[in-house]
Amino acid sequence: MTTVKQQPDRLFAQPVQQVPDFVFNEDVVRVFPDMIKRSVPGYPTIVENLGVLAARFAQPDTALYDLGSSLGAVTQALRRHVRTERCRVIAIDNSPAMVERCREYLHAQDSMFQELLPVEVIDADILALEFQPASLVALNFTLQFIDPAQRLALLGRIRQALVPGGALILSEKLRFEDAEEHALLNELHLDFKRANGYSELEIAQKRSAIENVMKPDSLEQHRERLLAAGFSKVVPWFQCLNFASLIALP
């Protein structure tokens, strides 16, 4: 077991000549819980309630997928709330640094609580995955990092894997088709980051690091694409500023 400590996110605090594209490496892993809480409005509420929602959809003899699991926050919430028998969680991320740390955290959860759902953490690309029959799939702020040209096919494969009565829960940063709404919610998001202690330099450098890597869609695009992928119903259940979470039913 490594002894890497969690740290406050100061990754973009020092000025650099050219900001490199954002990657989920060991530096990010060290600060990730702090970074995501201070950057994504509503993140702790979404994660905990994802576990609560999942308990309604989870079915025996199926898998619960946490796609783009990072440090396993969603997986841990699933294990706190789902009591369905013979379910297992499959957490997948293609960052080896994330996967290694995620396994440590889940090991710690295992040693503190009994009768948790079994979990497997896989270092893999979710685009190359062969899905097993699933009752719950979580894409918690992951689809926005997938090549836009691959998104429909991925959602189609998820739809095919879902058993009747199951659900996909999709959380994303949104852009807005109305320019005024887009500008207002983006400004309010910057205020949220300032209120959480990020400087103007940190905000600007993070933005240039992430803009080639993360491509948000609008709610309308998500809805249309989910329907095109074969989902029958899309129900938004949470929005805080320009971050939202949707339930998509097969």
Q: Which residues contact ligand GEK (rule: CB under 6 A)?
A: 24, 36, 47, 68-70, 73-74, 92-95, 98, 125-127, 140-142, 145-146
Ligand-binding site membership of 86 (annotated): no
DSSP 249: E
Sign of CA dihedral 171, 175, 178, 182: positive
Min dist CB 26 to ligand GEK, Å, is: 12
- Pick between residue 116 and residue 129 the one whose CB is nearest to ligand GEK: 129
Ligand-binding site membership of 43 (annotated): yes
Min dist CB 160 to ligand GEK, Å, is: 18
Phi, psi of 196 (to 5 degrees): -95, 15
- Pick between residue 104 and residue 227 the one whose CB is nearest to ligand GEK: 104
Min dist CB 129 to ligand GEK, Å, is: 8
Min dist CB 44 to ligand GEK, Å, is: 10
Strand 243-249 to 162-173 pairing: antiparallel
Distance of alpha carbon 219 from alpha carbon 236, whole angstroms:
9
* Alpha helices, H only, the chain: 26-39, 43-57, 73-81, 96-112, 148-161, 179-195, 200-210, 219-228
- Pick between residue 101 and residue 159 the one whose CB is nearest to ligand GEK: 101
Distance of alpha carbon 250 from alpha carbon 237, whole angstroms:
16
Binding residues for S-adenosyl-L-methionine are 43, 68-70, 93-94, 125-126, 140, 207
Q: From the annotation, which residues make up the binding site?
A: 43, 68-70, 93-94, 125-126, 140, 207
